[in-house]
């Protein structure tokens, strides 16, 4: 064998991440509001892009209706259309597999990029609970986002919104109701009803006028506000001074019950408003809208209220092309036209991919949308990815920072990916469904026959949930329900009242 230098020709396959493809992938992970901001920047950078019908003629149409909406029929769940039935009215140069950049290329080659899993988990398990609610909303924004759905009384809504704006950073209302009534020219009864509405919002304790009221609101929400706890909360100054013996006499409890009450008291947040940021932040706006159809199926649509209709101004392009006199100017204009058309196609592909993922989620969680959280199934990113033939990291990007609105409320898409527990049917059940079952059993228990955790295990097993006692206790505590001893004392005191 010769040991000299030589020239060899080899043919290999590889995928290259062009800036345009990177841009299309980035669009997948953005929410509608973030896409709106992105489009605004693109409008500033590209003179050929325009919004709405301001341009007389269009090149590369805006997003057609078929790309914004899909339907799931009312046939059995196994026959639901998982691909979303997105129409292909015009060819797109973007291949879905190109956006799915972690997908196997077939010859063993795989795209690698350091930002492949930026801010999104692509594992097969459902998202951790800490991934929810990470937006830096201000307290006022958080409360205003809830109050609209709390009442249909416009006068009450106006007063409640006014009160929200008067809360300090800790969540307390520092002005008296009499001052509010005088300022708004309303009766004290109306103002008090509005304050009650504000105090019903999350986080519990908001709208309190003093520390005792804040703690009492949280105790009531946790179903811990019995006469003994009420007396303890009414004497917080004695708690601060450590006068334990006097407090036990006032509350009429023994050492064990008092220690339990004190532990409950310390678990409450005396300044619930401080968990929210003070800076400006975007409100949570749903990206996907779902409603039931007359035939019993589902209509799934992109929320167009937050997405401007982007077009290319052809007349302006023709005008500028006629004025170009040099090669550089013509090359620049051609580049801007290509960028504009690519952006429209990338937005089209984004719509199709989101609808495809949303349609599969609705198919998998059909029971939740029809019957509620008790029918939420365990679901992983991998299951959805395999059903729609994409990589799970692509599904993770699509579900990041996206919200879905249905008749049951607004939910983050990652909410539908929950861990599972064992069940008798072999399919498993979601943790949320188990929590709902535990709450139902405890709510219905006889005050004279409080259910122990072992009894809950047996009752849940009869319902098809195969759980250990430790797991039942963990879920019971997670939804804020006390032990059998605590519940027996609470219900006994409630019966005395």
**417-422-426-427 Cα dihedral, nearest 10 degrees:** -10
How many C-beta atoms lie closer than 10 Å to residue 424's C-beta? 12
CB 429 within 8 A of CB 421: yes
**Domains, in order of start, for the chain:** 29-86+285-364 (no CATH), 139-199 (no CATH), 211-275 (no CATH), 419-496 (1.10.10.60)
Query: Cα dist. 64→58, 69, 268, 349 in Å?
Result: 13, 9, 51, 12
Distance (Å, whole) CA 40 – CA 463: 53
pLDDT value of residue 70: 67
- Specify the DSSP element, H or E, that contains 109: none
Element (H, E) at 288: strand 288-292
**pLDDT reported for residue 360:** 92
**Measured on CA atoms in the order 15, 17, 20, 21, is the torsion positive or negative?**
positive
CB atoms within 10 A of CB 468: 12
CA angle, 383 as apex, 106 and 133 as ends, to 5°? 115
Tell me how far apart the alpha carbons of residues 239 and 234 are, in angstroms, rounded to a whole number.
Answer: 10
**Length in residues, the chain:** 497
Given this model, what pLDDT does residue 71 score? 64
Instruction: Look up tokens 């909360």; give the residue.
Output: 233
CA angle 18, 19, 22 (to 5 degrees): 90
CA distances in angstroms from 336 to 57, 150, 206, 316, listed in the order given: 17, 48, 52, 12
pLDDT by residue for the chain (497 residues), tens only, comes to: 567 788 888 888 876 677 777 777 888 888 877 888 888 888 888 888 888 653 333 333 444 454 456 666 543 333 333 333 333 333 333 344 444 434 443 333 332 222 233 333 333 344 343 433 444 578 888 888 777 766 777 778 888 888 888 888 888 988 888 888 887 777 888 888 888 888 888 888 888 889 889 988 888 887 778 888 888 888 888 888 878 888 888 888 888 888 888 888 888 888 888 887 654 444 578 889 998 888 888 899 988 887 778 888 888 888 888 887 788 888 888 888 888 888 888 888 888 899 999 999 999 888 888 887 767 777 888 889 899 988 888 888 888 888 888 887 888 888 888 765 555 444 556 677 778 888 888 888 888 888 888 888 888 888 777 777 878 888 888 777 778 877 887 776 655 44
What tokens appear for 84 in the block? Answer: 């979303």
Residues 6+ apart with CB under 8 A from 398: 28, 29, 353, 354, 357, 413
pLDDT per residue as tens digits for the range 88-111 = 333 333 344 444 434 443 333 332
- Contact between 32 and 307 (Cβ < 8 Å): yes
pTM over 0.85: no
DSSP annotation of 298 reads: E
Report the candidate in 346, 337, 350, 353 with the shortest Cα–Cα distance to residue 50: 337
């Amino acid at each position: 064998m010769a040991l000299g230098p030589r020239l060899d020709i080899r043919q290999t396959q590889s995928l290259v991440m062009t800036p345009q493809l990177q841009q299309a992938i980035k669009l997948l992970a953005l929410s509608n509001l973030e896409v709106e901001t992105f489009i605004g920047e693109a409008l500033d950078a590209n003179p050929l892009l325009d919004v709405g019908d301001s341009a007389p003629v269009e090149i590369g149409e805006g997003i057609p209706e078929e790309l914004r909406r899909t339907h799931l029929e009312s046939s059995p769940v196994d026959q639901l259309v998982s691909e979303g039935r997105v129409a292909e009215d015009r060819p797109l140069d973007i291949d879905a597999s190109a956006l799915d950049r972690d997908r196997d290329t077939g010859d063993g080659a795989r795209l690698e990029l350091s930002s492949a899993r930026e801010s999104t988990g692509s594992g097969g398990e459902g998202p951790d609970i800490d991934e929810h609610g990470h937006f830096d909303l201000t307290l006022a924004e958080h409360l205003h986002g809830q109050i609209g759905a709390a009442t249909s009384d416009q006068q009450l809504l106006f007063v409640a919104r006014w009160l929200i704006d008067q809360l300090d950073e800790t969540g307390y209302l520092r002005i008296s109701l009499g001052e509010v009534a005088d300022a708004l020219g309303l009766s004290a009864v109306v103002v008090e009803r509005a304050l009650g509405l504000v105090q019903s919002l999350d986080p519990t304790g908001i709208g309190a006028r003093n520390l005792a009221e804040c703690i009492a609101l949280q105790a009531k929400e946790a179903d811990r506000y019995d006469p003994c706890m009420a007396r303890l909360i009414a004497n917080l100054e004695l708690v601060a001074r450590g006068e334990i013996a006097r407090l036990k006499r006032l509350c009429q409890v023994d050492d064990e019950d008092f220690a339990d009450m004190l532990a409950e008291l310390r678990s409450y947040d005396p300044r619930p408003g401080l968990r929210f940021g003070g800076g400006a932040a975007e409100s949570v706006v749903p990206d996907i809208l779902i409603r039931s159809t007359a035939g019993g199926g589902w209509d799934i649509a992109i929320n167009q209220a937050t997405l401007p209709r982007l077009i290319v101004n052809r007349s302006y392009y023709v005008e500028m092309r006629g004025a170009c006199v040099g090669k550089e100017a013509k090359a620049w204009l051609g580049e801007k036209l290509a960028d504009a058309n690519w952006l429209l196609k990338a937005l089209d592909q984004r719509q199709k991919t989101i609808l495809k993922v949303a349609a599969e989620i609705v198919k998998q969680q059909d029971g939740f949308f029809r019957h509620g959280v008790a029918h939420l199934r365990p679901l992983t990113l991998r299951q959805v990815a395999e059903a729609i033939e994409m990589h799970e990291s692509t599904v993770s990007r699509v579900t990041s920072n996206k919200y879905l609105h249905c008749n049951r409320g607004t939910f983050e898409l990652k909410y539908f990916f929950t861990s599972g527990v064992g069940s008798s049917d072999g399919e498993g059940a979601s943790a949320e469904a188990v929590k709902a079952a535990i709450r139902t059993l405890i709510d219905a228990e006889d005050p004279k026959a409080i259910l122990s955790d072992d009894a809950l295990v047996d009752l849940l097993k009869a319902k098809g949930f195969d759980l250990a006692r430790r797991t039942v206790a963990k879920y019971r505590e997670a939804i804020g329900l006390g032990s059998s001893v605590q519940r027996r004392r609470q219900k006994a005191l409630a019966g005395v009242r």
